[in-house]
């Protein structure tokens, strides 16, 4: 049996990467936007053999805090302990209040994959981030129920996952 899925905000994790985790912002964002290219799942907590549920090679930026609709797809009923999202390494956020470092209503940019960091995409391609915010690269974020303790510092994704 297949289920139709619409992806809304299971992305509070990504939005939490914004202002509060920067180390210099002490306020929640009122807006957090990023491009979402792909959404995949795996029946393995090691994220092997991922199944792509949604894909868009030219996404627009989506505000993750304002009832985002990312896309839709079909997926067999089952348990999927691994979720993989391919996203832009760049996001922007607007703080909900002033905090001495950030000004309410002002848009700020954040890069979640800094130069020399690596990320493994759903198809197994390894991306080495470069060019700072000016280079809008696609990276993958892995959410899994199991930690294998194999992710090196500065990497975005399991090193032992096969495509």
- Provide the 10 A C-beta neighbour count for residue 154: 12
CB 20 within 8 A of CB 12: no
- The residue among 86 and 100 whose pLDDT is bigger is 86
Report percent pLDDT > 70 for the chain. Answer: 74
Task: Based on DSSP, count helices (H) and strands (E) in the chain, helices before strands.
Answer: 1, 11
CB 157 within 8 A of CB 86: no
Give the least confident one: 21-25, 66-70, 76-80, 94-98. 21-25
Q: Which of 102, 127, 100 is nearest to 115 (CA)?
A: 127
Would you say residue 44 has pLDDT above 50? Answer: yes
143-161 confidence digits (pLDDT tens): 888 865 555 444 555 544 4
Rounded to a whole number of angstroms, the CA Rg of the chain reads: 16
| Beta-strand pair 126-128/118-120 | antiparallel
């Amino acid at each position: 049996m297949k289920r139709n899925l619409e992806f809304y905000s299971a992305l509070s994790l990504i939005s939490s990467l914004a202002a509060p985790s920067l180390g210099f912002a002490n306020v929640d964002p009122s807006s957090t936007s990023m491009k979402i290219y792909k959404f995949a799942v795996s029946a393995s907590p090691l994220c092997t053999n991922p199944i792509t549920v949604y894909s868009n090679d030219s996404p627009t930026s989506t505000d993750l805090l304002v009832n985002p609709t990312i896309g839709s797809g079909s997926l067999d009923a089952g348990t999927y302990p691994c979720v993989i999202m391919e996203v832009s390494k760049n996001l922007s956020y607007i703080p909900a209040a002033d905090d001495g470092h950030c000004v309410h209503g002002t848009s700020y940019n954040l890069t979640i994959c800094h130069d020399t960091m690596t990320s493994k995409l759903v198809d197994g391609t390894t991306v080495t981030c470069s060019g700072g915010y000016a280079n809008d690269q696609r990276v993958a974020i892995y959410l899994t129920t199991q930690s294998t303790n194999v992710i090196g510092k500065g990497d975005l994704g399991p090193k032992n996952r096969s495509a």
